[in-house]
A and B are shown apart, each in its own frame.
Chain A
Amino acid sequence: MMAQILEQLINGLVLGGIYALIAVGYTMVYGIIQLINFAHGEIYMFGAYIALMFIVMGVPFWIAVPLSMLLCAILGMLIDFVAYRPLRNAPRLSALITAIGISLALQNLARMIWSARPRQFPSESLPSFFLSEVTQTGEVINAILLPGGGILPFRDVFILLLAVVLMVVLNMLIYLTKIGKAMRACAQNAVAANLMGIKTNHVIAVTFAIGSALGAVAGIMVGLSEVVTPTMGYYKGVAAFAAAVLGGIGSISGAIFGGIVIGIAEVFGADIHSGYRIAFAYIIMILVILIRPSGLFGKSTSTRA
């Protein structure tokens, strides 16, 4: 029993790490322009596909990942420039509809380019420690054997470590650099920041770039352990959004914490009644919001639609 709980806890943490990476993209954008960027789930999907394409073309994995991050960052900025920037002064919900439109368009574009067939990263071109397996004799390769018989692949350890490292880097970026300072200023008061000489549009573009690059990493990680499909952005995107809100939308540490809470709630929910797997995560989220109406780490604000 304990062994099972331990194993599920680790499952939840790995899932939560991925949610956190995606949720950060939602929350950063929200913090600055109060927009629920529904297209973020699709950027994450594109990240996985772009990396896959490079790898199939023969680019080594460790080069394909940053390339994909770069291209997704550009895609994120492009979306901001083309679709969101003209709507800065429009009602908030107009931008939301634009985001839905982009999400729909990107998802169908991906289906037309890469077809709906699920794809996987070709195992021969991945670093060998990603390929964990259990042999017929019960020998465990590229994985850690947990007490009680659970198996933790190195790949999942890598995903968790990467999530932690990226979060630390992100926090350093936001709290120690000049652009980070500018982002915080914009989040507090965009107009005032503009008056102080901060180029708001520039800062927003950088925010989109960082969020999208992190989304791309999450997409590649999911592609590694799961599969790449045009609809992969939907489930994880919605769950990650719930995570961002749970943690207090606009707060980065909230997104990380929310991601892990949602991940663990989902995994243990599946243990209780698998048909309601994700629903347990939403119940936890609803309860948290009802007790703390601005999320766990959120500032109390009165925004309106």
Chain B
Amino acid sequence: MRDKLTPKNIIFCLCICFLPLLMYGIDGIERFLSIDFGWPGGDYVIRIVVRACLYMLLAVGLNIVCGFTGLLDLGYVAFYLIGGYTAGLLMQRLGVPYWFALPLAVLHGTVWGLLRGIPTLRLTGDYFAIVTFGFAELFFRVVRNEQWLIGAPNGQLRGIPSPSLFGITFNQNWHNYYHILILLIFVVFITYRLQNSRVGRAWVAIREDENAAESMGINVGRYKSLAFAVSAAIGALGGCFIAQFQVNISAPFFEFWESILILCMVVLGGMGSIRGAMIGAAILGSLGEILREVLTVLTRFTEYPELVGARYLIFGIVLILLMRFRPGGLIFKKT
């Protein structure tokens, strides 16, 4: 299958969007057979799906820097944080409607993406990685320490209003589901168009050999900056969404672990593949909750009640095994 916007591919991407809904399927089977495992349904599953879709959006965004231009970004969460707090503060403090806060927050994220890009353009490999990590950590500390900015300790921002349009307030989970779906489809469409354009080819050329790309007349600095900007904008978009989705946000929403998790999604799915990033996000974005349910069901049949505490132990083992047997990622593109 070619990695282009063919109809097949479009359906494929949509399918991935719906993948976490499989949990619904189990609930449905449970109801159908009228047995009770205690498997969940309802709003809870929608929430997992929304979160998985949000991770897909972020993974697609990170994939631009990590997958297309081949730079290891360990600080992607910085843009997520900037988007979240910009939108949150604008809406909660100044009463700016969501639809205006959104573009402003995305713009703000883009600006920081470009600013971070300027000094890091000449860095390669792991030096780039650690500098991005440092930047993210600085933003995290600012939110935690500068109480005058946020208003409460620990970046605790309360009561972010839900967006409304034509008198309808979007505060139900299924509202958020369609909301994130629209954002996701938009972002995936844009990235596909970019990937198969002159820009996308330039990015891949940079990834394969920076010096060769430069000698072919590609302005490496410009294309790299563009990648940073687009990636940051998508991150900030995700942040905007989470601010209104969670209503109350705090600094730990944007800790280093989130960067790592999103990176795992991109690599797991297959670096440089948009579909891969989405599949990776669908799996890892809901794996934690699926394990929670599976283990809860299992504890009913075992004597060991602490099994649910092993959730992240199994999460880690799943990562190891997936990489062991699909080292190139689930969707591996040969180059």
A–B in direct contact per CB < 8 Å: yes
* Partner-B contacts on A (CB < 8 A): 30, 36, 83, 86-87, 90-91, 93-98, 100-109, 111-112, 238, 241-242, 245, 249, 273, 275-276, 278-279, 282-283, 285-286, 289-290, 293-295, 301-305
CB neighbours (8 Å) of A108 from chain B are 309-313, 316
CB neighbours (8 Å) of B5 from chain A are none
B121 CB to closest chain A CB (Å) equals: 10
- CB of A285 within 8 A of CB of B130, answer yes
Q: A100-B264, A279-B138, A305-B71 are in contact. Are A36 and B145 (CB under 8 A)?
A: no
CB neighbours (8 Å) of B133 from chain A are 238, 242, 282
- CB of B137 within 8 A of CB of A245, answer no
Answer whether residue B318 sits at the interface, using C-beta atoms and an 8 A cutoff. Answer: yes
Answer whether residue B294 sits at the interface, using C-beta atoms and an 8 A cutoff. Answer: no
- CB of B127 within 8 A of CB of A305, answer no
CB neighbours (8 Å) of B134 from chain A are 242, 282-283, 285-286
Question: B123 contacts which of A97, A109, A293 (Cβ < 8 Å)?
Answer: A293
CB neighbours (8 Å) of B131 from chain A are 285-286, 289-290
A-B contact pairs, 27 of them (CB 8 A): A86-B327, A90-B323, A90-B328, A93-B263, A94-B327, A94-B328, A98-B320, A100-B316, A101-B316, A101-B317, A101-B318, A104-B316, A105-B316, A105-B317, A105-B320, A108-B313, A112-B306, A112-B310, A112-B313, A238-B256, A279-B137, A279-B141, A283-B138, A290-B131, A293-B123, A303-B125, A305-B70
Bound: A39/B67 CA distance, A: 24
Answer whether residue B122 sits at the interface, using C-beta atoms and an 8 A cutoff. Answer: yes
B132 CB to closest chain A CB (Å) equals: 10
Total inter-chain residue pairs, C-beta < 8 Å: 147
Measured CB to CB, the nearest residue on chain B to A109 is B313
Answer whether residue B158 sits at the interface, using C-beta atoms and an 8 A cutoff. Answer: no
Bound: A100/B257 CA distance, A: 10
B277 CB to closest chain A CB (Å) equals: 13
Bound: A108/B306 CA distance, A: 12
Question: B130 contacts which of A95, A276, A289 (Cβ < 8 Å)?
Answer: A289
CB neighbours (8 Å) of A97 from chain B are 263-264, 267-268, 319, 323
Q: A105-B316, A242-B134 are in contact. Are A293 and B310 (CB under 8 A)?
A: no
CB neighbours (8 Å) of B39 from chain A are none
Bound: A104/B288 CA distance, A: 13
Bound: A102/B71 CA distance, A: 23
Bound: A93/B270 CA distance, A: 10
B129-173 CB mask vs A (1 if < 8 Å, else 0) is 111011101100100110000000000000000000000000000
CB neighbours (8 Å) of A305 from chain B are 66, 70-72, 125, 129, 271
B254 CB to closest chain A CB (Å) equals: 15
- CB of A112 within 8 A of CB of B309, answer yes
Measured CB to CB, the nearest residue on chain A to B266 is A93
CB neighbours (8 Å) of A295 from chain B are 127
Bound: A279/B134 CA distance, A: 8
A176 CB to closest chain B CB (Å) equals: 29
- CB of B126 within 8 A of CB of A245, answer yes
Bound: A200/B318 CA distance, A: 28
- CB of B123 within 8 A of CB of A289, answer yes
Bound: A297/B164 CA distance, A: 56
Q: A87-B327, A275-B145 are in contact. Are A303 and B124 (CB under 8 A)?
A: yes
CB neighbors of A among B190-236 (8 A): 207, 210-211
B334 CB to closest chain A CB (Å) equals: 12
Given contacts A279-B138, A293-B124, list 6 more A-B pairs with CB under 8 A.
A90-B328, A105-B313, A112-B310, A273-B145, A286-B134, A293-B127
